[in-house]
Amino acid sequence: MYTDLVMDHFSNPRNVGEIEDADGVGQIGNPVCGDVMRISIDVDDDRIADVKFKTFGCGAAVATSSMVTEMVKGKTLAEAAEISNRAVADALGGLPPNKMHCSNLAADALHLAIQDYLVKAGREADVPQILKALPKDHAHSSH
């Protein structure tokens, strides 16, 4: 049901934890749905210098969180903002169809962390330009 890469990221997750006094933090999902992802970032010179995650959820939720942290380290904010949930799933070699909806929100959590950073840094005006598609109030909360 899961690819070897998903199982690898689930069993040996990269960048687990929380950055103290992070420049930006994004959290998505809720425990009632069975998935909560929190991503914290440090930003240096408009690039993601460090990123960590904490996730409550199934194998797919952990693996996508782990994968997105690997994908964005060192990327510019604009590059990181381009990464979609779909791209994370593709990088893992795909997810089972029933996991695409509920457990594939890691990119959304990352985008919220970038938004949080921009707001905290007084760059609210940059939000629409950098984050073209902000995560919508996710269908997730309606379950």
Partner 1 sequence: MTSVYFDHAATTPVDPRVLEQMLPFFCERYGNPSEVHRLGRDARTAVERARAQVAAGLGAGEKEIVFTAGGTEADNLALIGYLQRFEPGHFIISAIEHPAVMEAARALNRLGWAVDFIPVDGDGVIDVDAYEQAFRDDTKLASVMYANNVVGTIQPIAELARVAHEKGAAFHTDAVQGVGSVPIDVGALGVDMLTLSGHKLYGPKGIGALYVKRGTRLTPLIHGGGHERRLRSGTENVPGIVGLGAAVDLAQAQLAETRPRLEALRDRLARGVLESVPDVKYLGHPTERLPGNVAFTVRYIEGESMLLQLDAHGFMVSSGSACASGSLEPSHVILALGLGAEEAHGSLRLTLGRENTREEADAFIEVFPPIVDKLRQMSPLYVKG
Question: 9, 23, 26, 37: which one contacts partner 1 (CB under 8 A)?
Answer: 37
What is the SS3 string spanning the chain?
Answer: CCCHHHHHHHHCCCCECCCCCCCEEEEEEECCCCEEEEEEEEEECCEEEEEEEEEECCHHHHHHHHHHHHHHCCCEHHHHHHCCHHHHHHHCCCCCHHHHHHCCCHHHHHHHHHHHHHHHCCCHHHHHHHCCCCCCCCHHHHC
| Catalytic-residue membership of 58 | no
Question: 44, 124, 141, 143: which one contacts partner 1 (CB under 8 A)?
Answer: 143
Residue 58 lies near partner 1 (rule: CB under 8 A): yes
Nearer to partner 1, 37 or 114 (CB): 37
Nearer to partner 1, 86 or 143 (CB): 143
Of 102, 114, 118, 131, which is the active-site residue? 102
| Catalytic-residue membership of 33 | yes
Contacts to partner 1 by CB under 8 A: 2, 7, 10-11, 13, 16, 27, 31-38, 54-62, 98-99, 101-103, 143
Catalytic residues: 33, 102
